[in-house]
Structure 1
Amino acid sequence: MRPTPVWFLLLEDSLLLDWAGPAEALRIANQLRIAGGLPPAYELRFTGPSQDAATSVGVHVHGLAPLPPSLPPEALLVLVGMPGPRLALRKPGVRAAVDWLRTLQAAPPRLVTICAGALLAGHAGLLHGRRATTHHQHLDELRAIAPGCQVVDNRVFVLDGPVASSAGITTGIDLALHLVAQQCGAPLAARVAQTMVVALRRGPQDPELSPFLSHRNHMHAALHLVQDAVSSEPQRDWDVASMAHAGHTSTRHLTRLFVQHAGLPPLDYLRRIRLAVAQAALQSGRTVTQAAELAGFSSDTQLRRAWRVFEMPGTPSGAAREIA
């Protein structure tokens, strides 16, 4: 098998983890294949409008290859994000990169976008007629610049033919592991994940925002105390009184805090955390009864009832069937 050329397009201030994480996943896949007597599966190349570029953390990358006039159809082109609330087209190199991407429309390579890299593809017209996602801060921006793209909210990554898009930063690693599994097999991808100490491989149906992160976009210290306690010990016999005790407040005040700052009552938050724990347990091979016990439900019947009420977004079909 000839190695797949993987071109990373690096611009000034490219988010380091957007490209370094996936590149490491592919490098480790090569390393494991070579150790097993197989040829490498990927050939990593790095290109940009300039030979040198500073990364988002200030480290400079030198020796970038010039933008190639064309890419072979088997190549993967990886577009990554940059810091900021919007893509700055006037930033050095961004306009040149978009213009170059437009020259690829006639024979586009397989495309991988990470975080705001989808905006580069959108400006270049490479997402027309495709489903794609991006970081949650850029979803509306992507809809505005690429009206012909079906933008998917709250997904770790989305696959649509030759276009694979991810929500950004660590989700780029999830997407890289999925691509390794497609090309080299799931066992190798699992070994790469183990080498990288990735605790839980996420798939294209998983939500971008974990239930453990949802409802926490606030600055209230007492409420964070309660949410930390519930998340770390979901199997405890929690009620509103014990949650209020963890936050050093009254039950009535805790309920007001949850509704005001988290947008839901405290027991609803508890059930969502328990459902997330149960879902992870089911994905790891536990039975419904075992998952219910680990998550703090009194029985598998209570787990099923809670799941029907909340119907967690992004639940894999296998886990959904198990719970239902």
Structure 2
Amino acid sequence: MNQIAFLLVPGLHLLDLAGPAQVFSTAAQAGHPYRLTYHAEQEGVPTAQGLTVQATTDWPRLTSDDILLVPGWHQDPGAPHTPPVGERTAARIAAHHAAGGLVASVCAGAFALGHAGLLDGRRCTTHHRLQDVLARRHPRATVIRDVLYVTDDRVVTSAGIASGIDLALHLAAARHGPRTAARIARAMVVYARRNGDEPQASAMLRHRAHLSDTVHHAQDLIDTGYTRTLPLADLAAASGVSERTLSRRFTAATGRTPLRYQQELRLERAEHLISQGATTEAAAHAVGFADARMLRRLRATAPRQTA
């Protein structure tokens, strides 16, 4: 069982903690073995919203498969700098990363990672109001502005408040695939965004930013069987609607027909196979095309995805 260890700091923003915690607890409910633990330098941690949360003062026993995540706290950009955590805690954060573990932060949590020395020589981000402060306090870091999250050598930083959900969905997608992340997002009734600072958006997530259960169900079927022929009649019957209704709802929700969505999944997978050394013909057959002509046509007309 993998552990998600949250390090809590006084002045904690509740959503910085609750968003990622909800993502990983939803993943656990879906069958992925996660255990969430909460740690601090004091048992009672006051939050910026006036609620005190309880944590253990025992440092977690972590393995390289575990994630250490630091939610943000209320940080006045003009206030004098004080280290967000003590030297012993900072050393423990650095030690987890040195042992091969992943360390992540939300919002002002980046300052704790900076105090641990993990931002030096790395790209990072934080809340837009704190970007200049972070850059001044950690001049050896490269602060990337106006993005939701940045990943650099197992150090993952995200912007403010709600972006912790995007960060956690990204980590879930990296570990379990975009389909799992999309299902978690759907269960939480949030948009499945992955627009960090690099081109990493999957078609399975790009077109899940809607609330149509019928279309989500049809997408689930296509996601699992996109290499096969999927007649519209079969998709509609499995989704409990007519072909015309499914086509109308699918296009309204995603901006493309079910067939076009299936082709995008095939194209994305084929591009990956080609990047790994497969020939166009082999990639075409692997994703379900009878020959390479359709794949070549799709590659020639497809827009390039950007972050």
Q: The TM-score by the shorter chain falls in which range?
A: 0.5 to 0.7
Which residue is equivalent to 1:321?
Answer: 304
Is the partner of 1:111 in helix, strand or coil?
A: strand
| CA–CA separation in structure 2 for the residues paired with 1:5 and 1:322 | 33
Give per-residue Cα distances to partners, 1:20-50, cap 9 Å, x unaligned: 11100110111122xxxxxx33211100000
- In the alignment, is the contact (CA less than 8 A) between 1:89 and 1:95 conserved in 2? no
Matching of residue 71 in structure 1 with residue 62 in structure 2: yes
Matching of residue 203 in structure 1 with residue 195 in structure 2: yes
Query: Which of residues 104, 107, 111 is equivalent to 1:119?
Result: 111
Which residue is equivalent to 1:29?
Answer: 27
Give per-residue Cα distances to partners, 1:149-199, cap 9 Å, x unaligned: 111011011111211111021111011011111112211111110111113
Is the partner of 1:7 in helix, strand or coil?
A: strand
| CA–CA separation in structure 2 for the residues paired with 1:137 and 1:49 | 26
Query: Which of residues 120, 123, 144 is equivalent to 1:128?
Result: 120
Give per-residue Cα distances to partners, 1:194-243, cap 9 Å, x unaligned: 1111135242148xxxxxxxxxxxxxxxxxxxxxxxxxxxxxxxxxxxxx
- In the alignment, is the contact (CA less than 8 A) between 1:78 and 1:112 conserved in 2? yes
- In the alignment, is the contact (CA less than 8 A) between 1:112 and 1:165 conserved in 2? yes
| Aligned partner letter, 1:101 | A
| CA–CA separation in structure 1 for the residues paired with 2:10 and 2:146 | 27
| CA–CA separation in structure 1 for the residues paired with 2:303 and 2:141 | 29
- In the alignment, is the contact (CA less than 8 A) between 2:169 and 2:194 conserved in 1? no
Is the partner of 1:321 in helix, strand or coil?
A: coil
| CA–CA separation in structure 2 for the residues paired with 1:132 and 1:320 | 28
Which residue is equivalent to 1:14?
Answer: 12
How high is the TM-score relative to the length of structure 1? 0.58
Give the length in aligned residue pairs: 209
Which residue is equivalent to 2:33?
Answer: 41
Query: Which of residues 87, 91, 100 is equivalent to 1:102?
Result: 91
Per the alignment, do residues 73 and 57 of structure 1 end up closer, same or farther by CA in structure 2, a change over 3 Å counting? same
| CA–CA separation in structure 2 for the residues paired with 1:80 and 1:186 | 24
| CA–CA separation in structure 1 for the residues paired with 2:16 and 2:302 | 30
| Aligned partner letter, 1:30 | A
Matching of residue 178 in structure 1 with residue 176 in structure 2: no
| Aligned partner letter, 1:55 | T
How high is the TM-score relative to the length of structure 2? 0.61
Per the alignment, do residues 136 and 31 of structure 1 end up closer, same or farther by CA in structure 2, a change over 3 Å counting? same
- In the alignment, is the contact (CA less than 8 A) between 1:51 and 1:66 conserved in 2? no
For structure 1, the residue ranges without an aligned partner over 5 or more in a row are: 34-39, 207-280, 288-317
- In the alignment, is the contact (CA less than 8 A) between 2:93 and 2:103 conserved in 1? no
| CA–CA separation in structure 2 for the residues paired with 1:170 and 1:41 | 24
- In the alignment, is the contact (CA less than 8 A) between 1:101 and 1:124 conserved in 2? yes
Q: Name the Cα RMSD after superposition.
A: 3.1
Per the alignment, do residues 193 and 165 of structure 1 end up closer, same or farther by CA in structure 2, a change over 3 Å counting? same
Per the alignment, do residues 71 and 84 of structure 1 end up closer, same or farther by CA in structure 2, a change over 3 Å counting? same
| Aligned partner letter, 1:182 | A
| CA–CA separation in structure 1 for the residues paired with 2:10 and 2:80 | 11
Per the alignment, do residues 104 and 60 of structure 1 end up closer, same or farther by CA in structure 2, a change over 3 Å counting? closer
